[in-house]
A = this chain, B = another copy of it.
Amino acid sequence: MADKFGLTVRKNENFSEWYQQLCLEQGAHLADLRYGVQGFLVLRPYGFQLVRKIYELFEHAIEEDNHEPMLFPSVIPEENLQREKEHAGFVPEVFWITEAGSEKMERKVALRPTGEAAIYPMYSLWVRSYKDLPFKRYQSRITVFRNEMTTRPFLRGREFSFFETHDVFQTHDSALSQIKTDLSIMKEVIENKLMIPFYFFKRPKWDRFKGAEDTFVSDTIMPDGKRLQISSTHDLGTRFAEAYNVRFKDADGTDKAAYQTCFGPGIFRIVASLISIHGDDTGLVLPSIMAPLKVVIVPIIFTDKPDKNKLVTDFCRKLEKKMKELGITAKFDDGEQSPGYKFNQWEMMGVPIRLEVGPKEVEANTVTLVRRTARQKIKVEFTKLADEIHQQLKLMDDDIKAKALTYFTDNTKDATTMTELIDVLQTHRGFVKVPFCSVDLDGEKCADVIKAETAGAIVCGTRYPEEEKVTRGAKCIVCKKQAKHIVYTAKTY
């Protein structure tokens, strides 16, 4: 903690600066931007542990859904990246390896911007028969590389943590059914465990993944009111199968191109939303499942009472041992700093429960417990501690969930005219639902008008799988034609 420590701005007053401070040396030491290559982030232990835990949750959920793990090279031959015509749109963002040692390479290779062009040529060797289908695999704990112009920790980087499934199906219906399964995985991990509320949208056709038939996403709202995409599932139809030759012999003996989907939760983006949505002016607030450390034990030592200090320290060690026996990750902070400094530090790190032990607590065989989301101090008898900690962790999770959900719900509004939309976007943050003409390619020009008139709000899409019904007679807020959809608009990153 040799750096200047403590946040100097409030989340509600300057979110952008608050976020940056919380990520870096002044805050929770999640990451370091001083690596010396723009957009390449160093993950420090606490930040890495958040990333790892999110990976673990997805790995568990996706293996329950019968996906097998695999690992592909980080490089992609140039010609493979060009095989699907629209997908080749990634090329301008790609980093190229052109030299080995002091020699120019015969064929340059790309650092993968995403997995499709690496993986599908191998799928064409592995998938042979309808009996192989569905064929569901994933890779996790890898990074991908894109030459982004502007970068911010976890929100946009040139190398970032990646997780991707790649599934192959016999029919389009099975592919569409996987999209709903991916949604249920997002609900389980993101909504239930990380307590981040989100909407699941079908994107307008003009905003699909390069090469996909359709793109389905999870969008949440950040504290500055901007929407953040935190997952996508792409319905690739048979387009990639045609381009990469992923074909199978069907039950009737005919040779067919396979239907494919791929799903990717944005691991770094999820970290960004986790720390932004739950955090407060004193630092991180973490759902109990995410906290690397559940409990910190802080001794209250008085320099003028040295005889008492050993009793306090012994009691703290006993406490630490008890936590270990209970399977609760805990740390006894016996550092030299003052109790006040330690309180600030562990609040910054979002440790859910602080136990304070001074001479009084030792005498009474109690501890003083403070939960991260409620500042009052509670006296707890040593023998009742296990129950109380579990109870307090649950209360904390409830606090976090309620606060996040309230913010999310309060920031979803309606508008029926452009004037109303502009007005709502000036006074509030988040999503505004509006009637809209078309989410096919012909709707893009109306979306462009919205973007221009609102200084940046985009059409995020329609709710999926249950699309909201348009009121009879409602008109598109731009072209005034019959509205066919309720679309969600929002400013974005």
Residue numbers of A with Cβ under 8 A of B are 2, 32, 34-37, 40-45, 48-49, 51-52, 68-75, 77, 80, 91-102, 108-109, 111, 118, 121-122, 125, 128-129, 137, 141, 143, 145, 147, 159, 161
Contacts and interface: CB of A to CB of B under 8 A. Distances in A.
B98 A93 contact: no
A72 B42 contact: yes
B94 A96 contact: no
A96 B95 contact: no
Contact of A36 (B32, B77, B101): B77
Contacts of A37: 73, 75, 77, 109
Contacts of A77: 36-37
A137 B29 CA distance: 15
Contacts of A69: 45, 48-49, 52
Nearest to A52: B69
Contacts of A42: 70-73, 122
Contacts of A141: 141
Nearest to A55: B141
A5 to B, nearest CB: 13
A40 B101 contact: no
A100 B109 contact: no
B137 A45 contact: yes
Given A45-B69, A141-B141, 13 more contacts: A35-B73, A35-B122, A36-B77, A37-B77, A43-B70, A43-B71, A45-B68, A45-B70, A48-B70, A52-B69, A92-B101, A93-B101, A97-B98
19 contacts: A2-B128, A34-B125, A35-B72, A35-B73, A37-B73, A42-B73, A45-B70, A48-B69, A52-B69, A74-B159, A75-B159, A91-B101, A94-B101, A95-B97, A95-B100, A96-B99, A97-B98, A100-B147, A141-B141
A51 B34 contact: no
Given A2-B129, A49-B69, A97 B96 contact: yes
Contacts of A68: 45
Contacts of A91: 101
10 tightest A-B contacts by CB?
A40-B73, A45-B68, A96-B99, A43-B71, A100-B147, A92-B101, A2-B128, A98-B98, A141-B141, A48-B71
A98 B99 contact: yes
Contacts of A109: 37
A480 B159 CA distance: 57
Nearest to A94: B101
Contacts of A35: 72-73, 118, 121-122
A22 B71 CA distance: 18
Which of A41, A72, A92 is most buried by chain B, counting CB atoms within 10 A of its CB? A72
Contacts of A44: 70
A118 B35 CA distance: 8
Contacts of A122: 32, 34-35, 42
A190 B176 CA distance: 45
A35 B115 CA distance: 13
Given A36-B77, A121-B36, A102 B97 contact: no
Q: Which of A73, A102, A109, A129 has the most CB of B within 10 A?
A: A73
B71 A147 contact: no
A433 B40 CA distance: 48
